[in-house]
Amino acid sequence: MNSRKVVFIFWSTLLIGSISGGTVGILLNLDEYVGGGAANFFVGLIWMLGISAAFTLVSQMGFFAYLFVHRFGLGLSRSHALWNRIQWILIVFVFFDLVYFRYIAFGREDSIWSYFIIPTALFLYALLIAWIKAKETNKGAFVPALFFMFVITTIEWIPALVVNNTNWLYLYLTPILIGNTYQLLLLHRLHKKD
């Protein structure tokens, strides 16, 4: 992979993540931005695009960090099978934490079952993307792709999870999820061009 491709990944991910997050941000607060006139809408749009760009940068840092962690994990375990088992254990652990710790922090009067919705939806989305990645590359890419899409996305999402504001949950998740998906599915396509 040459520097031109790295720059392409960076700028295209930043653009796609910013636009997706900005769109969701405007839609979540449509009354606030549309009700104040054109200047208010324009300032709100710039604000949402800027916030989404920052969240997309978090996604990019997470992606390149995972590429390093994945190679490091393979080197330490010396076996794909062992590294895959470790990743599965971490996936289960993060799923449990995403349910339990949010319930302990925010859901004392709610049912714990309602706190399964977000982790389950994220996990199902991660399964779909991992399946696509494995189909387009090889079966060995499934577990690393699932780990990246679920665990790394959750780690990147922690600042919004701590706040527990529905708008921030979706505003923060959208550029991260779109950015992670785009980077993961783009990487092997750029390698094929070599």
CB contact burial 1-25 (16+ within 10 A = b; e otherwise): eeeeeeeebeeebbebbbbbbbbbb
Q: What pLDDT shows up at residue 90?
A: 96
Please give the C-alpha separations between residue 120 and each of 95, 98, 114, 189, in angstroms, as whole numbers.
8, 10, 10, 29
Q: What is the pLDDT along the chain (194 residues), one digit of tens a residue?
A: 678 888 999 999 999 999 999 999 999 888 888 777 888 888 888 999 999 999 999 999 999 999 999 989 888 888 888 999 999 999 999 999 999 988 888 877 788 888 899 999 999 999 999 999 999 999 999 999 999 999 999 999 999 888 878 888 999 999 999 999 999 999 888 877 55
Q: What pLDDT shows up at residue 9?
A: 92
Q: What pLDDT shows up at residue 193?
A: 59
Q: What is the pTM of this model?
A: 0.91
Q: What pLDDT shows up at residue 162?
A: 86
Q: What pLDDT shows up at residue 133?
A: 96
Q: What pLDDT shows up at residue 194?
A: 53
Q: What pLDDT shows up at residue 163?
A: 84
CA distance 137 to 130: 10
Q: What's the burial of 107, exposed, middle or buried (CB within 10 Å: 0-12/13-18/19+)?
A: middle
Cβ count within 10 A of residue 185: 15
| Phi, psi (rounded to 5 degrees) for 110 | -95, 165
